[in-house]
Chain A
């Protein structure tokens, strides 16, 4: 590191390794004193080549792979994939399977939002809220473990249905867990909206108008906190959402506080929907038969992940393996809002602003094309392979 002259810009790097980041990403904030005058983001540190890998696996094997795109919203990735494949195959999972898929998805949303609440509080230096919300999050983790046997990758979905059934005992356990969580969520809502020191860190910070949110293509709770009416569960209902509609939660604040409020209110909505489904759980089979070879064609599958719209494009050539799977995760849509909103804020607000969109790094890592000077360097698969052989020779 060389000494910088005072006339040069003072850049504070956050990442790739930084206590505020749980996954690697690189942000450069140009600061003037404490005020941020410029921001840039660079991703791509944990690119795993999953889309390419998916082309080499059968339709069934891909569920396993795609669930591992994200450790927090794993179920919703599998749901988007199986819904798309089922549409291509022209089958539809039985109503009970759809209901169980939705219950798991909403439980996952609860665990994701509680996790986010803790992380965001920690970024703001409110560790007590962090510890308490993560303690309570264990309840929903236990419920997910009860249903599927796994705390993180539930692998509930199979092509044409689900693996696990819900019996009365499990339903009662879920209801009890939800009662406890609902009571706690009321408490967190009170803390977030009344604690003066916390409000000082969230109110009016990261203000994004509705026009900005729409222009930047924000999705999910980030967009809904700027009163953009956008929720796939309502706009294009899938799984059991046509029968058990959710209410759209928006807030016109547009600041960090609004993002807290929207996510907490969505928790209440999730509790309500899960209870409604459990009360009127359809009877019937858990799976239908799906052919090994999926008919040729292409399909778009959209679901609402905890962070916003998750988009899958699936193309089949009629074989046992997909021709192409394209994933666009919600975090990728929301980065633009951070970078454009950051300017003019204090450096101390940056971690909370970053956390405000509930970022997930590894799921949105792309191949990055770096332009150095005039010539762009572009390596194909063959080049990379050759490089690897040369390197280890």
Chain B
């Protein structure tokens, strides 16, 4: 009985559910405010992300002609659920993950990709031309950053000799920060996260000046709110993962806040520095540069483990 209650709490309050939603909205605010300040704008007020979500939830949801109705409603829910589920396996706020087993790293990465896949499907589900082009770009981008991102997260796992996020977290906490020993992997992981979240300059899938809102053009109201929440949640989880793997692990809530915020500042800076990459340039960048760097990194780590130790 007690364990059931704890499980429900873990799902609904912490680390999943309410905590994560609130934290995700807060980080969306920090991100938007930072980018605005970097661009010499005023930026939103602190409750703006929440106000956006409330407004969207209150709006009528229009289901356009030509879509598979069930899928149209189900996809945003699945996307948010996947992102929230992924939170159960990461050391959120420096606490021990709610669930943990050997190999949960792979499961988490799959759960994080589910959001992107849902967005791609949502775009392909409608017959709107902007959505279809956007969906093509979402999936193209997925195939380009996913492999380097995975490789970048694998090298700390190989060093820690474990596929369990909590164990890797403990290992990195007891060793020199990997950002110093494996700077390439850190860079690939962080930029990969930006590609995953479709932040500028990797925002070709939702380039507003070309294809309006990309795959989500036809979404309004609840569906859009859920997708946006899903992205906010994924931002927090992604930053947590990178911080746990490359910034010396997360042992307590203070470390969690400081390290993820520091990463967020870097991400916001990168967002305002570059012009948007075309989708072909994104693919080229990831496969010509990202994948090779990630691969070199992982080969070096394997070599280090096998030969030098």
Is residue B52 within 8 Å, beta carbon to beta carbon, of the partner chain? no
Q: How far is the CA of A11 from the CA of B38 in the complex (A)?
A: 37
**By the criterion CB–CB under 8 Å, are B212 and A125 in contact?**
no
Is residue B20 within 8 Å, beta carbon to beta carbon, of the partner chain? no
Is residue B288 within 8 Å, beta carbon to beta carbon, of the partner chain? no
A370 to chain B, nearest CB (A): 23
Is residue A374 within 8 Å, beta carbon to beta carbon, of the partner chain? no
Is residue B272 within 8 Å, beta carbon to beta carbon, of the partner chain? yes
**By the criterion CB–CB under 8 Å, are A195 and B210 in contact?**
no
Is residue A175 within 8 Å, beta carbon to beta carbon, of the partner chain? no
Complex contacts, A3 vs chain B, CB 8 Å:
66, 127
Q: How large is the interface on A (under 10, 10 to 19, 20 to 34, 35 or more residues)?
A: 35 or more
Q: How far is the CA of A31 from the CA of B136 in the complex (A)?
A: 13
Q: How far is the CA of A3 from the CA of B133 in the complex (A)?
A: 15
Complex contacts, A33 vs chain B, CB 8 Å:
136
User: Which A-chain residue is minimally distant from B202 (CB atoms)?
Assistant: A125
Q: Which of B102-110, B114-122, B277-285, B291-299 contacts its partner? A: B277-285
Most buried by B among A3, A34, A197, A348: A348
**By the criterion CB–CB under 8 Å, are A348 and B278 in contact?**
yes
**By the criterion CB–CB under 8 Å, are A200 and B277 in contact?**
yes
**By the criterion CB–CB under 8 Å, are A128 and B203 in contact?**
no
Q: How far is the CA of A35 from the CA of B40 in the complex (A)?
A: 35
**By the criterion CB–CB under 8 Å, are B279 and A348 in contact?**
yes
Given contacts A12-B133, A201-B275, contact A19 B40 (CB under 8 A): no
Q: Write the residues of chain B forming the contact surface with A, with a CB cutoff of 8 angstroms.
A: 38-41, 65-66, 127-130, 133, 136, 200-201, 203-204, 207-212, 272-281
Given contacts A3-B66, A121-B275, contact A200 B281 (CB under 8 A): yes
**By the criterion CB–CB under 8 Å, are B38 and A19 in contact?**
no
**By the criterion CB–CB under 8 Å, are B276 and A126 in contact?**
yes
Is residue A1 within 8 Å, beta carbon to beta carbon, of the partner chain? yes
Given contacts A12-B133, A20-B209, contact A125 B280 (CB under 8 A): no
Is residue A247 within 8 Å, beta carbon to beta carbon, of the partner chain? no
B51 to chain A, nearest CB (A): 22
**By the criterion CB–CB under 8 Å, are A131 and B129 in contact?**
no
Is residue A95 within 8 Å, beta carbon to beta carbon, of the partner chain? no
**By the criterion CB–CB under 8 Å, are B200 and A125 in contact?**
yes
**By the criterion CB–CB under 8 Å, are B65 and A125 in contact?**
no
**By the criterion CB–CB under 8 Å, are B127 and A348 in contact?**
no
Is residue A313 within 8 Å, beta carbon to beta carbon, of the partner chain? no
**By the criterion CB–CB under 8 Å, are B274 and A12 in contact?**
no
Complex contacts, A121 vs chain B, CB 8 Å:
275
Complex contacts, A344 vs chain B, CB 8 Å:
none
Could you pull out 29 A-B pairs where Cβ atoms are within 8 angstroms?
Answer: A1-B65, A1-B66, A1-B127, A3-B127, A4-B127, A19-B209, A20-B209, A34-B133, A34-B136, A34-B279, A34-B280, A121-B275, A122-B209, A125-B200, A126-B276, A127-B272, A129-B275, A132-B40, A195-B274, A195-B275, A197-B274, A200-B275, A200-B277, A200-B278, A201-B275, A346-B280, A347-B210, A348-B204, A351-B209
**By the criterion CB–CB under 8 Å, are A197 and B277 in contact?**
yes
**By the criterion CB–CB under 8 Å, are A125 and B272 in contact?**
no
Q: How far is the CA of A121 from the CA of B204 in the complex (A)?
A: 15
A384 to chain B, nearest CB (A): 34
Is residue A350 within 8 Å, beta carbon to beta carbon, of the partner chain? yes
**By the criterion CB–CB under 8 Å, are A125 and B39 in contact?**
no
A11-B129, A128-B273 given; 13 more Cβ-contact pairs under 8 Å:
A1-B66, A10-B129, A20-B210, A121-B275, A125-B275, A127-B39, A128-B272, A132-B40, A195-B275, A197-B274, A201-B275, A348-B278, A351-B209
Is residue A349 within 8 Å, beta carbon to beta carbon, of the partner chain? yes
A252 to chain B, nearest CB (A): 24
Complex contacts, A34 vs chain B, CB 8 Å:
133, 136, 279-280
**By the criterion CB–CB under 8 Å, are B129 and A125 in contact?**
no
Complex contacts, A31 vs chain B, CB 8 Å:
133
Q: How far is the CA of A20 from the CA of B276 in the complex (A)?
A: 14
**By the criterion CB–CB under 8 Å, are B207 and A125 in contact?**
yes
Is residue A244 within 8 Å, beta carbon to beta carbon, of the partner chain? no
Given contacts A1-B66, A20-B210, contact A124 B127 (CB under 8 A): no
User: Which A-chain residue is minimally distant from B140 (CB atoms)?
Assistant: A34
Is residue A251 within 8 Å, beta carbon to beta carbon, of the partner chain? no
Q: How far is the CA of A127 from the CA of B35 in the complex (A)?
A: 10
Complex contacts, B209 vs chain A, CB 8 Å:
19-20, 122-123, 125, 351
Q: Which of A12, A195, A348 contacts B207 (CB 8 A)?
A: A348
Is residue A149 within 8 Å, beta carbon to beta carbon, of the partner chain? no
Complex contacts, A385 vs chain B, CB 8 Å:
none
**By the criterion CB–CB under 8 Å, are B273 and A19 in contact?**
no
User: Which B-chain residue is minimally distant from A347 (CB atoms)?
Assistant: B210
Given contacts A123-B209, A132-B39, contact A346 B66 (CB under 8 A): no
B128 to chain A, nearest CB (A): 8
